[in-house]
Structure 1
Amino acid sequence: MKAPKYKLISAYIKEQITNGTWPVGSRLPSQRELARQFEVNRSTIITALDELAADGLIEGKLGMGTVVINNTWTLMRAVPLVNWNEQVKLGAHQASIPTVQAINQAESNENLIQLSKGELSKDLFPLDDMRAVITKVGRNLEPFGYEDPKGNLLLREAISKYLSQKDIKVSTSSIIVVSGALQALHLISIGLLERGSTVFLEDPSYVNSLSTFQSAGMKLQGISMDKEGILPEKIEVAHQNKNSVLYCHPTFHNPTGALMGWKRRQELLKLAEHKQIPIIEDDVYSDLWLDSPPPLPIKSHDRNGNVLYLGSLSKSLNPGLRIGWIVGPEAVMDRLADLKMQTDYGTSSISQRAAAEWLSSGLYEQHLLTVRKHLKARRNAALQALDTHLSRYAEWEQPAGGFFIWVKFNPEVALSDLYRKALAHGVLINPGKIYSNQKNQYFRLSFANGRIDDIVKGIAVLESLIKDC
C-alpha cells in the first residue's frame, strides 16, 4: 500500500536532518517553497511538519520560520551536538549581502532571462577552437607538478607580449598569474593593505557587492563619478591620511559602463603619485570595445610603480579557465606570489597552458573580432528595446564597450518591487543598491549573456510590470 504524501515528505525532511544536510539550527524552506517542490497543497506540508514537530525534530520560531532543533541522535544524547549554523557566523570573512546571494543562485537558473549576468553568452563560446587548443596542449603535455609561484613561464611571456600592445612594458618577473581578478583583489587585501586602511572606489562600484576588502578590515569610501568615471578632485578632498589605496575601473566601468578619457587618466595618476595613493587598476573589459579602441591603461603611463594592474580572460574569453593576472613592482609581486602559494599552490596547470596557447597563437585576437561583432548587435538591440519600452520611465547612456547599461528610473518606480516582480516573471536584473546605497533608482542591465530575442522580451516584461511598482 502506497504511503500518504505527507508521510513521504516527512521521511524526506527527516533524512535531510539525519544525514546532516539540514543540521541543528537550520531554517527549513518555507511552506510555500516545500509545496512547490513536492507539488502538493500547503495543507499536506503542514501535516508533515506537524508530525516532525511532534517527534521533537523541528520547531516554529517567531521571525525565523521552521527551524531544526534536534536530530535522531541528539534526541538520544544528554549533550547537544555542535550547531554549525552558529559556527558559520564566526568566520573572519563576511558573507555576501542577501540580495547578492540570491542573485548568485538565480544566475544558474537557465529558465530565467538573464539581464543581470556579467558573462558572455554560451553562443559566443569558441567551442571548436577551445577543443583544438586543449587537444594541442594535451598532445604536447609532459609530466607536470606545481607551477612557478608566479605562474607558468610560457603564459607570463605571452601576457607580457600581449600587454606590450597596450603600451605596458613589463618583464615576466613582474607578472603573477591568478585565478581571475577576484583572487587578485583578495591577495592584495590580505597581503598589502593594513587593517583600518581606506579603499577609495567609484560610487557605484562592483566591489560594493563583495566583502573582500571589508573582511580584511578595510573601510570603503565611495567617490563621485561623472560620465568619464571617478572624479580626481573628490579624491583629493576625501584623502586624509597615507593609509589609503584607490581601486578604479576606468575602461567600461562595472556597473555604469563609463569610459574614462586619456586626460582624466593622466590627472588621476598625477594626483595619486602626488598624494602617495597606490592605484589598483581593474582592466578586465578593455578588449571588449564596440565602437573604437579605448585609451591606453593608466598603467601604461606609470613610471614609478604606483599602479597594480589587473587583467583577465574571464570576461573576454571564458570564466571557466580561471585565468587572470596582476602586474606591478617585482618586490610586490614576490609578496603576492608567496601568498598565492599559501592560498592554493597555483592556478591550474592545464588552464595556464591553454591560456598561453590562446594568447600566443593569434586565436585570442580572432575570437575578439567575433565577440565584438555580436556584443555590439546585442547592445544595439538592448538600447532599441529600452527606447521602445522604458523611455517614459527611465534614462541611460550608451556604453562604448563592456557588458552593461546603467538604467536610472524615475523616482516613482519602486526598484525593489520591480526586481522581485521581474524575478517572479522569469527575468533577473541587478538592482543598483548592491553597488551603492545611494543608487536605489538604478539597475544594471547586461546585454552580454542573453540572446537578442530574450533581451528584448525581458525588457518588455519590465515595462509590463512597472504599473504595479
Structure 2
Amino acid sequence: MEWKLDRTIKKPIYKQIADFIEQGISTGAFSQESMLPSERILAKELGVNRSTIVAAYDELQSLGIVERKKGSGTRISTDIWGVSHKRIPNWGRYMEDGSFLPNLPFVQRIRTEIRRNDVINLSSGELSPTLWPSEQFRTIFTKHPFTEPLGYDHPKGNASLRETISEHVREYRNIDIPSSSILITSGAQQALHLIVQCLLKSGDSIAIEDPSYFYSLPLFQSAGLKVYYLRVDQDGVNPDDVVELYRKHRIRMIFLNPSYQNPTGASLHPSRRKKILDISSELGIPIVEDDPYSLISFNGDNGTTLKSMDENGNVLYISSLSKIVTSGLRIGWVIGPSKVIDRLADAKQQVDFGHSIFPQWAANEFLKDPYFDAHISMLRGELEKRCDEIVKSLDEYLHGEVEFNRPKGGIHIWCRFKSVFNEKQLLEESMRRGVSFVPGSVYGSGKGYVRFTYGRGEMKFIREGISRFADALIACKQQ
C-alpha cells in the first residue's frame, strides 16, 4: 500500500484513514464486489493499532459509506449510490472539512430555542420590539418618497448615507472624518469579517478581551489566527497586559469593545484609553474599536471613543444601528484610513456587490430626522428601567447566590454565581422552564458566569424570567 499517514498534521489518524478509504471507494480502488481489508491486515499495513482502524471503519459506517457485520467483515454500503447508480456526495464530510467554522453549540442551541413563543428571551443581544422606532419608520415611508436608483451603488456605500454618518459621528462621537473614510457594512459582524480577511493572515497573533463577545465568534479561528486574551476588570483591560502580549507573541492587532463592554458592561477607564493609544502608536499595533453601546449610557454621557482620541490613524472604528435603532436594518460602518477603507470596500464588493440601497435610504432618513434625539433619549430611559428591574429581580430571587456590578449603560448584565453549576444542565433546565440566557463560557470566562440581556427582555417579563431561572438553578442543585 503506497499511501502513507501524515503524522505532522492535526487531523486524527483514524480520520486520515477514513478519508483514504472513502477516496479509494470514489475512484474504484476498492471494489464494491469484494470486502474491504480486515482490521488486522489494514492495521499491520499502515503501522497503527487495530483500535485505530476500528475507529476509522466506525466513522465510515456512521456516514453510511460502509456496512459491517460481525464475523463477516466490512464492505462498501449497498446504499451508497442513488437509484441511478451514481455516487451521492458525502455532505457530512464536506461540512466537516469546510474552513469556516460553525457557531458554538451553546449558541446554536439558544438560537433554536428562542424561536419558541413561550420563551422569555434574556439572551439575544438586541433591543426588544417595543423599543424599535417602528412608528417613525412608517412616517418616513409615508412622507419621504423613495427615489433612489435601484442599481449597484458606490462600493463604499450610498454617498448620502456616508455624509450623514460623517456628520453623525462628528456630533455624537466627536470623530471628525470625511465620508471617503467610511464603509457601509451589513452590521458590525461583516465589518469584523472584512478586517480579518483583508488585513490579517493565517498564523498572525491578535489580542481580544476576556471575557468578550469576540470570543464567541468563530471568525478568528476560521482565519487561522492565534488568539490571546486581555483580562477585563471593572475599568476594562490593563494596558500593561497589551505590552506583555506583544513581547511574548508579537500581536498584530487588538480588538476592543471599550464602552459598556459585552458581556461585562465595563467601560475602559479614560487613563487606560490614553495609555493604550500611546502603546498602539509606540508599537505600531492597530486597534479595532467596536462601539455599539456608547450612545445608550443611562446618564446621557456619550463618553470618549478611542477613535476621537486617535491622532495617528491607528484605530479602525466600527459601529452600527443594531443596538440603538433596530437589528433588522443591518446598517453598520467602519471608519479608518482611506486606503484601508478602499481595500475593505473592494473585498465587500466581491462578496455582495455593495449594500442594498433600500435599508441605506431608510437609515439615512432616520439619522437626519429630528426625532433621532428623542428616540435616543427614550431608549436610555427605558433601558435604565429594564436594568433596574433585572437588578431588583436578581436581588429578590437570587440573593446571596450572585454577584454583579450594575451597568451604567448598554444592554447586558454580567453575573458571577458563588456556587459552581453544570452550564449545559442549567441551560437545558432553564429552557425547559421557558427562559433563555447565555452561559459565561461562550465568552471565554471561567465557570460560574451568566450573561442576561435586559435590552431584549420585555419589561413585564424580566421579573418572571429571573424567577424561572432561579427555579432552574435550584433544580440543578438538587439533581
1:320 maps onto 2:328 in alignment = yes
Q: Distance in 1 between matches of 2:78 and 2:235?
A: 57
Q: Distance in 1 between matches of 2:148 and 2:101?
A: 41
User: Which residue in 1 is equivalent to 2:437?
Assistant: 429
Q: Distance in 1 between matches of 2:315 and 2:390?
A: 35
1:266 to 274, 285, 288: 274
Q: TM-score, normalised by structure 2?
A: 0.81
User: Which residue in 1 is equivalent to 2:403?
Assistant: 395
8 Å CA contact 2:140–2:365 kept in 1: the answer is yes
User: Which residue in 1 is equivalent to 2:447?
Assistant: 440
1:217 maps onto 2:224 in alignment = yes
1:364 to 367, 372, 375: 372
1:238 maps onto 2:251 in alignment = no
Q: What SS does the corresponding residue of 1:387 show, helix, strand or coil?
A: helix
Q: Distance in 2 between matches of 1:143 and 1:402?
A: 36
Q: CA deviation at 1:350?
A: 0.6
Q: CA deviation at 1:178?
A: 0.5
Q: CA deviation at 1:64?
A: 12
Q: Distance in 2 between matches of 1:64 and 1:128?
A: 56
Q: CA deviation at 1:359?
A: 1.0
Q: CA deviation at 1:96?
A: 1.3
2:154 to 114, 135, 148: 148
Counterpart mapping for 1:62-461 below 5 A: 74=81, 76-137=83-144, 139-165=145-171, 166-240=173-247, 242-436=250-444, 438-461=445-468
8 Å CA contact 1:151–1:176 kept in 2: the answer is yes
8 Å CA contact 1:261–1:295 kept in 2: the answer is no
Instruction: Give 2:292's aligned amino acid.
Output: V
8 Å CA contact 1:149–1:338 kept in 2: the answer is yes
Q: TM-score, normalised by structure 1?
A: 0.82
8 Å CA contact 1:201–1:221 kept in 2: the answer is yes
Counterpart mapping for 1:46-57 below 5 A: none
Q: Distance in 1 between matches of 2:112 and 2:447?
A: 22
Q: Which moved more, 1:245-254 or 1:143-152?
A: 143-152
Q: CA deviation at 1:267?
A: 1.2
Residues 363-388 of structure 1: CA distance to partner in whole angstroms, max 9, x if unpaired?
A: 22221111111111111000000011
Q: Distance in 2 between matches of 1:108 and 1:163?
A: 35
Cα 1:68–1:384 shift into 2, 3 Å? farther
8 Å CA contact 2:148–2:357 kept in 1: the answer is no
Q: What is the RMSD computed on CA atoms of the aligned residues?
A: 2.2
Q: Distance in 1 between matches of 2:251 and 2:211?
A: 22
Instruction: Give 2:214's aligned amino acid.
Output: V
Q: Which moved more, 1:73-82 or 1:314-323?
A: 73-82
8 Å CA contact 1:181–1:325 kept in 2: the answer is yes
Cα 1:71–1:183 shift into 2, 3 Å? farther
8 Å CA contact 2:321–2:331 kept in 1: the answer is yes
Q: Distance in 2 between matches of 1:180 and 1:237?
A: 32
Q: Distance in 1 between matches of 2:272 and 2:152?
A: 42
Cα 1:454–1:73 shift into 2, 3 Å? same
Cα 1:407–1:160 shift into 2, 3 Å? same
8 Å CA contact 1:120–1:315 kept in 2: the answer is yes
Larger Rg belongs to: 2
Aligned length: 407
Q: Distance in 1 between matches of 2:412 and 2:61?
A: 37
8 Å CA contact 2:329–2:359 kept in 1: the answer is yes
Q: CA deviation at 1:401?
A: 0.6
Q: CA deviation at 1:247?
A: 0.1
Cα 1:200–1:229 shift into 2, 3 Å? same
1:468 to 438, 460, 475: 475
Q: Distance in 2 between matches of 1:73 and 1:133?
A: 57
Q: Distance in 2 between matches of 1:196 and 1:340?
A: 23
Residues 53-80 of structure 1: CA distance to partner in whole angstroms, max 9, x if unpaired?
A: xxxxxxxx98999977799994535443
Residues 10-31 of structure 1: CA distance to partner in whole angstroms, max 9, x if unpaired?
A: xxxxxxxxxxxxxxxxxxxxxx
8 Å CA contact 1:299–1:307 kept in 2: the answer is yes
Instruction: Give 2:166's aligned amino acid.
Output: S
Instruction: Give 1:279's aligned amino acid.
Output: I
Q: CA deviation at 1:453?
A: 2.6
